[in-house]
Structure 1
């Protein structure tokens, strides 16, 4: 199962569905989200887990996951398609039988969580699924609709999504499996998966932030970075 490609599918689908988060994903894909980092970096109170130096690993994973999904036949919202087309090689390689590219092991080694690319992608996908469940409207029909919109996926990938959509996830159990160094990534992709226009979604994010030990001021900084309403 290619969890990185599933993550790209989820990011693209939720961004297209949730309007405002689509602009955020477009920023990440185009590498301009760093413009917000200087403002965050100047804040007097900063949690080192969310320092701007930790943003690039997440943004590399987002770009890679969206690109892999698109090249596998997945449909993206317009900013995503534009980014992929801008970064497509001028002359597609003609060599046949080349193994599938592997992710950079050096990047995996440098990541503070100690997890590899696919493990991180699976954890972030679960975070997005939980965020999608937060408003209480994710019934069986909506689950089928989301999985259908994420195609093409192979059987294992579709089964994984249906299984996890059908489970009732407990935020405390989930956070117990989040390693130190992935708190920022888990919270940001959860936020990107939401439109954040209901009390249930806001309550879920507050609970997630508390479980991840993210202080209110830092939480607001993350929201400001992605242009979302603040919680505190």
Structure 2
């Protein structure tokens, strides 16, 4: 099953998709063609968002870092950062090194506290796609995330929908790809994650209690391509979805 959050008749609603991904059905029975939908980021109200930096060995090598960090690089993101499928993201006038980062997002389905890694996936209810843009000029020590980089309004496209975890039997075996104006700039796999989804659920649950709706952005594979206003960026993850975003001047 796939669930999406859209804007309809002056309200925000959750809808389900048909098997062909062409029709959205609202709780009141109304149907909306996917091509006519006003997409919102599929995030639950009040949910916490945890994000990973340098969690792909190939990307770390690309940036000149050790393949594996001693401890995971985790940061938080505010709800204001997200924008839906087919949305616009502003590129700052001095953000000449702004580049897309395709990421698998795991959504928590049950309260998780001190979960062993062997049970981590039992607490995941679904997955979606994120494009967690980075702006290299704003990073501290080249890679360390901060508010200027990772908490800017509408700079993390999310969606288009949430795919049930049952449809993704192995989240560590998914192809990932990013294109900019049709040119492939990232081509990787979730198999290159340093900490997989189950391990991340376990690690975070030993730090804090994860709650239903909380999201974990799991990191990005290699491929750094600087973008410009007017670019169309598409992030795709096998089985999960195809997320489209448009860069505009800030």
Fold-level match, TM-score > 0.5? no
- Normalized per residue, the structure richer in strand is 2
TM-score by length of 1: 0.26
TM-score by length of 2: 0.25
